[in-house]
Amino acid sequence: MRLATLHVDRQFILHDAGILCDAGILCDPKMAPQTATSGSDSAASGPTTFDPAWFSAAFWQRHDAVVGQAPGRGTSLFVDAARIAVADEQWVLRDYRRGGMAARLSEARYVWTGLERSRAFREMRLTATLFARGLPVPRPVAAQVTRHGVTYAAALLTVRLAGARALADCLEDNDPALLERVGATIRRFHSAGLDHVDLNVRNLLITPDETVWLIDLDRCRLRRPGGWQNANLERLQRSLAKFEAEEAVPAILRGYERVVSQR
């Protein structure tokens, strides 16, 4: 995956240049230019058609390309990138929203402390790193940060997993094999050093091929082994309890511990 950065007015975009190259529209000299910034990332070598409007729900609504939405803080929209001839796939558009007491001050603004410390850029880079390592995370498309003086707003685009169901929607089956795969998948991420601070039954997705995926890496990070692994598992157990599915815990832990014992 080759990441590129763009700076357009007050907007900063970190995106997977490969998706646009595959679409045959990156660096098209016939298109209106936008500014590409270099650094540790690859910079676009000329004009690009990456449109900041792709982070706007209104844009996709105008193109009749909104095909669904997911529950959560704010709303994650499912959009069809094929409708605008960008990619033959669907994307998930998620705006960053604050929760708790902080939301009383602002639901969508965060304090500016630097571009690379923004939540969107950090999540984009982390997701790209895990994806490159072959871990089951959705392919990231782009992150957008819009600066407003001492604050900023942000959004993220990722590839939608076709036919995926949240673990929350699979708990009634109480399938031990599935639950053990969930535990084994969590252990894979822990072995890679991922501290997922919001490990819950809606951030674990199951696709029709029975692969278990992990989503929503906001505020997550890579760490050395420590007590955070148990904290992640305890967070998941509390989430299961909310769905009255505590009976799923032993099978998940079996899958988790089986991977440990096989190392």
**Amino acid making up residue 77:** L
Residue 16 is a catalytic residue: no
Query: What is the residue type of 4?
Result: A
Non-local (6+) Cβ contacts of 108 within 8 A are: 74, 95, 96, 97, 98, 153
Cα(178)–Cα(167) distance, rounded to whole angstroms?
9
Q: Which residue has the tokens 């760490």?
A: 223
Site of tokens 């007590």? 227
Contacts of 232 (CB under 8 A, 6+ apart): 186, 190, 195, 196, 197, 199
Give the integer Cα–Cα distance in Å for 201 and 238: 10
Catalytic residue among 41, 169, 175, 198: 198
From the list 107, 211, 216, the residue with the least C-alpha distance to 158 is 216
Q: Cβ of 236: how many Cβ atoms within 10 Å?
A: 26
DSSP state for residue 51 in the 8-state scheme: -
Catalytic residues, by residue number, are: 198
